Amino acid sequence: MDKIKVNVNSEIGKIKGVIVHTPGAEVENMTPENAERALYSDILNLSVAMPEYEEFLGVLKKRSRVFEVTDLLKTTLEDDAVRKNLIDQVCKHERHSQKRYQLCDTLLEMSPEKLANQLIVGVEMQKNNLTSFLDNERFSLSPLPNFFFTRDASFSVGNNVLISKMANTVRDREAIIMETIFSHHPLFETKVVNPVEKFDMSGRSTIEGGDVQIAREDVLVIGTGDRTTTQGIDSMIEFMKTRPGVKHILAQELPFKPESFIHLDMTFTFLDKDRCMVFEPLIMNSSRYLTIHITIDGDKVTGIREEKNILHALRKLGIDMEPVICGGQKDLYFQEREQWQSGANFFAMEPGKVMGYERNVHTIGAMNKSGFDIVKAADVVNGKVNLDDYKKVVVTIKGNELSRGGGGARCMTMPVAREKVIW
């Protein structure tokens, strides 16, 4: 298989390689009792979600090379040293001793294929002593029901893959797995950077990929709120200092509540060279949540100033964006409802060709008014529609069940290669 040279310098360049994780048994292992601990406000019905996900995946496969986390992990774990190191990291993180439930021994006995699967779907506790028998937990290694949101645990910037520091420890194993894959899988040519581990001295840094967007090779837009701390953005400042020339970070404050604001890409995404999707009350009209422009020249911060909003700051940098309003312009209630349903969360397959949820009818209508044709994912997958026939197009996936997980098309993709955008 041809190698992939990691190269992502925009949100909209034509997609050439993307990592996904098809949801499986780890989602079905959620119950109403443990859903909140797994960061869900509801439980998903996998049998309903899978046809929606398969449409989404089918469209991606029409446009790009698509790689599954489990397949990548299996290949990576065929190296004995890598497998042992990953197990050591997992056991250390999960605070499991070998005497307690024999988890580490159990993992070491698994084949690479089985281990790749069990690290995601979870390992059931062996009830072989009194302590474990009386333990209310079902799993000694908990499932990872959030992993189909592959955007969060790692993200590509230029030729680097950056490893996230997750805000919630229940998701740390996702980042450990992605770091192992990118550090050892023979498919990827990249330099792996863990910015928090390398640059943070505060102990308070967290950063997740849903908050990080590449406007242009020299411009990052990063949200700070529930999942990404200001210290996490400070670690990204230090990372950007290692890159030559003048660089810019636009930091956008986000509300901590409600949970639909967990990442920047739930309120703002790029659609085209001159279009972006915005949740207007926050991105355009808020005076409570600041937009801060940080300028970095070489290895020094040369300016930090407040901006009116993201679009105003981008315009000053030569990136002129016309906003499309999540939920449409008519009614604040429609805007709030559709933002909650991931209405602002679009994934660009190339400039002007994006995917989003069909259920957000007012948002899709606003896209249509802004010049985007609307096609159904099923028609793309079965060949009735050829996206090359369109200049600007939204591919709609049903998402009635998927959206209950709290994310959209961008959340479910981790790009590793995009073509360069000619601005």
Q: Which residue has the higher pLDDT, 412 or 329?
A: 412
Residue 42: band (very low, low, confident or very high) from pLDDT cuts 50, 70, 90:
low
Residue 403: band (very low, low, confident or very high) from pLDDT cuts 50, 70, 90:
confident
Residue 35: band (very low, low, confident or very high) from pLDDT cuts 50, 70, 90:
very low
**Separation of alpha carbons 230 and 207, rounded Å:** 9
pLDDT tens per residue across span 151-182: 999 999 999 999 999 999 989 999 999 999 99
The first and second tokens of residue 414, run together, are: 């981790």
Residue 257: band (very low, low, confident or very high) from pLDDT cuts 50, 70, 90:
confident
**Direct distance between the N- and C-terminal alpha carbons of the chain, in angstroms, rounded to an integer:** 32
Query: 30-39, 127-136, 353-362 — which is least confidently predicted?
Result: 30-39
Indicate if the pLDDT at residue 43 is higher than 70. Answer: no
Compute, in degrees rounded to 10, the torsion defined by CA atoms 255, 256, 261, 265: 80
Percent of the chain whose predicted confidence (pLDDT) is above 70: 95
pLDDT tens per residue across span 186-196: 999 999 999 99
**Separation of alpha carbons 140 and 118, rounded Å:** 11
Average pLDDT over residues 208-233: 98
**Separation of alpha carbons 222 and 236, rounded Å:** 9
Supply the pLDDT for residue 97.
43
Q: Which residue has the higher pLDDT, 44 or 274?
A: 274
Indicate if the pLDDT at residue 98 is higher than 80. Answer: no
As a whole number, the mean pLDDT across the chain is 93
Residue 385: band (very low, low, confident or very high) from pLDDT cuts 50, 70, 90:
very high
Query: 34-43, 103-112, 128-137, 386-395 — which is least confidently predicted?
Result: 34-43
Supply the pLDDT for residue 260.
86
Supply the pLDDT for residue 137.
79
**Separation of alpha carbons 205 and 167, rounded Å:** 8
Supply the pLDDT for residue 131.
76
Indicate if the pLDDT at residue 30 is higher than 80. Answer: no
Supply the pLDDT for residue 161.
98
Indicate if the pLDDT at residue 38 is higher than 90. Answer: no
Nearest to 307 by CA among 266, 251, 265, 264: 251
Average pLDDT over residues 234-246: 97
Average pLDDT over residues 208-222: 98
Supply the pLDDT for residue 41.
52
Residue 99: band (very low, low, confident or very high) from pLDDT cuts 50, 70, 90:
very low
pLDDT tens per residue across span 125-156: 888 888 778 777 788 898 999 999 999 999 99
CA 23 → CA 345, 350, 399, distances in Å?
19, 25, 14
Supply the pLDDT for residue 377.
98
Average pLDDT over residues 358-377: 98
Is 0.85 topped by the overall pTM?
yes
The first and second tokens of residue 62, run together, are: 């029409």
**Separation of alpha carbons 355 and 59, rounded Å:** 9
Map tokens 């085209």 to a residue.
272
Supply the pLDDT for residue 33.
56
Indicate if the pLDDT at residue 368 is higher than 70. Answer: yes
Q: What are phi and psi of 232, to 5 degrees?
A: -65, -40
Contact 238, 182 (CB under 8 A): no
Residues with Cβ < 8 Å from 46, sequence gap 6 or more? Answer: 23, 24, 27, 28
- Where does residue 336 rank: exposed (0-12), middle (13-18), buried (19+ CB within 10 A)? middle
Q: What is the DSSP letter of 14?
A: P
Average pLDDT over residues 16-28: 94
Domain ranges for the chain, please list them.
4-73+144-418
Residue 32: band (very low, low, confident or very high) from pLDDT cuts 50, 70, 90:
low
Helix 361-369 to helix 332-340 angle, to the nearest 10 degrees? 110
The first and second tokens of residue 3, run together, are: 């190698």
Residue 381: band (very low, low, confident or very high) from pLDDT cuts 50, 70, 90:
very high
Q: Which residue has the higher pLDDT, 72 or 402?
A: 72
Is the four-CA dihedral 244, 181, 167, 149 of positive or negative sign?
positive
Give the CATH fold of the 4-73+144-418 domain: L-arginine/glycine Amidinotransferase; Chain A (3.75.10)
**Separation of alpha carbons 290 and 374, rounded Å:** 34
